[in-house]
Structure 1
Amino acid sequence: MKKSDELKKIIDELKDKADKLQQAEQYDDAVKVADELKDAVRDYKVAKAMEEAEATDFIATATPANAKSMISDAVMRNRVFNKLVFGRQLNEEEKAFLNNAGTPGQVEATPAKGGYLVPEEQISQLLELRRAYTQLKGYTNVQIALSNAGKQPTVGAETGTLTAFDELNEIHQGDIDFSQLSYEIADYGDIIPVSNTLLQDTDLNLMGIIGQRFARKAVNTENAQILAKLAAITDSPTAISTYKGITKALNVTLDPAFYANAKIFTNQDGFEWMSELEDAQNRPLLVPDVAAPDTYRFRGKEVVVISNSILETSETGTGTVTRKAPMYIGSMSDFLAFFERKGVEVAVSGEAGFTKNATLIRAIERFDTVVADSAAMKSYQVTL
């Protein structure tokens, strides 16, 4: 048996062991197995590269230096990725590129769903596109989920104190309250039709085509799930009419433990209202961040602006309509845990788009949002 085959068997065993430990909530042991898995994957890649080298007849296939392939890494990366997605055979040069260190490397196919996980190098293109939009996910506590469902232990609030004791007296034994965050990963996806004529070019940047449409929808979906958790904080948001209401929210209403990471989340209407706030000397209270001019701060706290189309301003009354903009103040990273199954899966189908001479590309990401500490965020409304 080849060394790479032995290592592949070890990798499969370690994956199975890690999944079982995760399901049994033995997290410390699961982490240790995960470290062993990383080492095994690394050894597997090295063994494959060595086997490829040994199988090559360098003397028989030697070519002059000027005959070296002129294909760039970027083009080759696209070619290899596209062929794997569409199930096409790789030639020897493409196989060598796939197994080289620093290139897409080995990724796991998911036969049950007919998909292919996007390699780390190419998923960076998708992440670059996502940065163009307001991502609330970046403000949460992002956790990598090792399975589709699980629990994460957390420590509850602690308000007790240490006990004074004299020498030879026993120290009082207090209770520790533990809780758990339960998550259940859901699939979110999009179907992107692509012309078959275009797909005949295996060197095209398929991730670029997918990313233009998928990235924004992915951000919108994540934001919607996060905003749904914020909306559930209370049925009656606290009213704010002046800048002093925001100051009180930060200094008094919010627990001091959350003050350092506190931010202000509002929509475009709320941001416009804040931009008109002035102090006694008629100086604006909303000021740009010196280090990041596109970011604004109120009393040193970042203001995150969300589109009105996603975080809507409410309207009540007939005749004279009262408009109220939502505002959330607190530490989002303490409030919400974002569990994600790492990676984006791509799958294709030529049958569904047969009448249009198109291939349908399905892109899927998996995540769940769980409230970790409801006291970390407070809900408000600003009358415009």
Structure 2
Amino acid sequence: MQTVTINQLNTAWVQAGQTVSDLDNQINAALFNNESDSKDFTALVGKRDEAKKRRDAIKNQLDELGASQQVPKNEEKIEPQVPVTPIKNKEDKKFIDAVRGMLTGDPKYRDLVTSSDDPVTGVGAGLTIPKDIQTKINQFVRQLYSLQQYVRVENVTMMEGDRIYEKFSTMTPLQDLDAEDATIPDNDEPSLMKIVYKIHRYAGINTVTNSLLKDSSENILAWLISWIGKKVVVTRNQKIVSKLNDSPNKPTITTFDDIKDLYANTIDPALRPGSIYLTNATGFTGISKIKNEFGGYLIQPSVTDPDKYVIAGKEIAVIADRDLPDLTGNKHPLYFGNLEEAITLYDREHMSLLSSNIAGDAFVKDQTKIRVIDRFDVESVDKEAVAAANFKTIADLKPSSPQAPNGGGNGNP
């Protein structure tokens, strides 16, 4: 007889709860239908009651099994999970209550949801995600592979603005003012440049199940953090990648020496300490198979972190082909540089939620949709701080030919 796992029981319990919820909706609709047959109504109530018994029986069995064994390792998810912890912060609890009320159409929360105007559209922006919960989202984002960890992040309150930057490669020293009548020359002006940012709105929609609406506040919060966090990572990764190709330095790589030249010749030496290599999953597969002169793999895991690989002590950051696709002509991207000097992400830190049961097909499917909006901008600051190389294949290292002693090869002087 096949063994039923905890995960299978949990799925069955959620599905059983959804069945009960759907039958409840049918009963509610029948109550307002004057043409509804009493026998059909009674049968519907009976089906609902039986569904409740089945749901409760599955839940009891789930609790029994959970108390007697741990989840097998092969059933644990490898990807980062949001911990479900009791909500102690009153503001967090108030927010989740507002989310639940917004999703269920509670009139008490209607004014709360529409009171905040979107600074771009001028209409109701929805329910603003509190600072504390945005912090939890950011903490979860850091568990995922986010390129945001490598670039400079500036939190802003204005929807648009500008900043004055000086590229490191053209930076001049401060002037000596020891003389009492010394003046500061204007020789810095030509190397200064103005970067203009304009906050963009990025939105995503998801479907909220009836069973989630009936779940605990802790589980609703964990679901929101997980969904929004993953959306934030994918969106911001792709916007950061879009700025990497602004680099004027775009060499083609064919040998491992070319990769070393990226390190030695493409960026200011002062920027090397914070520099990394960056490629996509397909590109890393090719790089990881380069062999040394003895037939072994040239790229080895980091001594301090076996999950990371390095080239001459520099980390090779790898992100999905979805976020960093191959270039035209089946060429793989390989960037090297100091992303913190090259790119700035201007973060509005003003995420918001809005729900609807009529958007799209939500009305005909009796579903509730929830929309999240993230507000940020990404701009190139120092295009020379990163080199944007490409490659198709990289040749293995060849064994060095042994030199003949004393140049003669025959042992004679």
**TM-score category of the 2 structures, normalised to the smaller one:** 0.5 to 0.7
Contact 1:210–1:363 at 8 Å: present in 2 too? no
Q: CA deviation at 1:335?
A: 0.4
Instruction: Figure out how many residues of one structure are paired with residues of the other and give that number.
Output: 291
Residue 183 of structure 1 aligns with which residue? 197
Aligned-residue sequence identity (percent) comes to 24
Alignment of 1:209-358 (within 5 A): 209-234=223-248, 237-280=250-293, 284-314=297-327, 316=329, 323-352=330-359, 353-358=362-367
Residue identity matched to 1:324: K
Greater mean deviation of Cα atoms: 329-338 or 242-251: 242-251
Distance 1:155 1:360, change over 3 A: same
> Counterpart in 1 of 2:137?
126
Structure 2 SS opposite 1:260: helix
Contact 1:237 1:381 in 2 (8 A): yes
- Equivalent in the alignment of 2:370: 361
Alignment CA distance shift 1:174-1:341 (3 Å): closer
Q: Is the 8 Å Cα contact of residues 246 and 380 (structure 2) preserved in structure 1?
A: no
Map Cα deviations across residues 44-79 of structure 1 (whole Å, 9 max, x no partner): xxxxxxxxxxxxxxxxxxxxxxxxxxx954597765
Residue deviations 1:326-364 (CA, integer Å, cap 9, x gap): 111101100000001114211222343333222221111
Residue 173 (structure 1) aligned with residue 180 (structure 2): no
- The CA deviation at 1:205 is 2.6
Closer, same or farther: CA 334–284 of 1 in aligned 2, 3 Å: same
Residue 348 of structure 1 contacts residue 361 of structure 1 at CA under 8 Å; is this kept in 2?
yes
Match of 2:33 in 1: none
CA distance in structure 2 between the partners assigned to 1:357 and 1:245 by the alignment = 58
The answer (yes or no) to whether the contact 1:76–1:203 under 8 Å persists in 2 is no
Is residue 341–residue 381 contact of structure 2 (8 Å, CA) maintained in 1?
yes
Call closer, same or farther: CA 1:281–1:338 in 2, change over 3 Å: same
CA distance in 1 between partners of 2:172 and 2:369 (Å) = 59
Deviation at 1:182, TM superposition (A): 0.8
1:382 counterpart residue number: 391
Contact 1:266/1:328 (CA < 8 Å) preserved in 2? yes
User: Which protein shows a greater Rg?
Assistant: 2
**What secondary structure does 2:273 align onto?**
coil
- The CA deviation at 1:145 is 1.2
| Aligned-partner Cα distance in 2 for 1:204–1:165 | 61
TM-score under structure 2 normalisation? 0.61
Which residue identity lines up with residue 308 of structure 1 in the other structure? D
Task: Answer yes or no: is 1:149 the counterpart of 2:152.
Answer: no
Any conservation in 2 of the 1:265–1:305 contact (CA below 8 Å)? yes
Aligned to 2:24: none
Bigger fraction of residues in strand? 1
Which residue is equivalent to 1:63?
none
Is 2:345–2:379's contact at 8 Å kept on the other side of the alignment?
yes
Pair 1:170–1:128, CA change in 2 (3 A)? closer
**How far apart in 1 are the matches of 2:311 and 2:171?**
31
In structure 2, the CA distance between the partners of 1:205 and 1:173, relative to structure 1 (3 Å rule), is: same
Letter of the structure 1 residue corresponding to residue 124 of structure 2: K
In the aligned structure 1, how far is the partner of 2:389 from the partner of 2:149?
22
Return the match for 1:206 from 211, 220, 237. Answer: 220
Q: Distance in 1 between matches of 2:139 and 2:180?
A: 63
Secondary structure (helix, strand or coil) at the match of 2:252 reads strand
Matched AA of 2:198: E
Give, in whole Å, the separation in 1 of the partners of 2:363 and 2:178. 84
CA distance in 2, matches of 1:343, 1:160: 37
SS in 1 for 2:217: coil
Q: 1:159 to 1:378 in 2, by over 3 A?
A: same
C-alpha separation in 1, matches of 2:376 and 2:279? 24
Shift of 1:117: 2.1
Task: Give RMSD over aligned pairs.
Answer: 3.4
Cα distance per residue 1:294-331 (max 9 Å; x no partner): 12111011110021233223463xxxxxx421111101
Contact 1:78 1:202 in 2 (8 A): no
Q: Is the 8 A contact 1:130 1:215 kept in 2?
A: yes
TM-score calculated relative to the size of structure 1: 0.66
C-alpha change, 1:283 and 1:357, in structure 2 (3 Å) is same
Inter-partner Cα distance in structure 2 for 1:184 and 1:164: 38
- The aligned amino acid for 1:345 is S
SS of the residue 2:306 aligns to:
coil
The answer to whether the 8 Å contact 1:82/1:206 transfers is: yes
The answer to whether the 8 A contact 2:339-2:386 is kept is yes
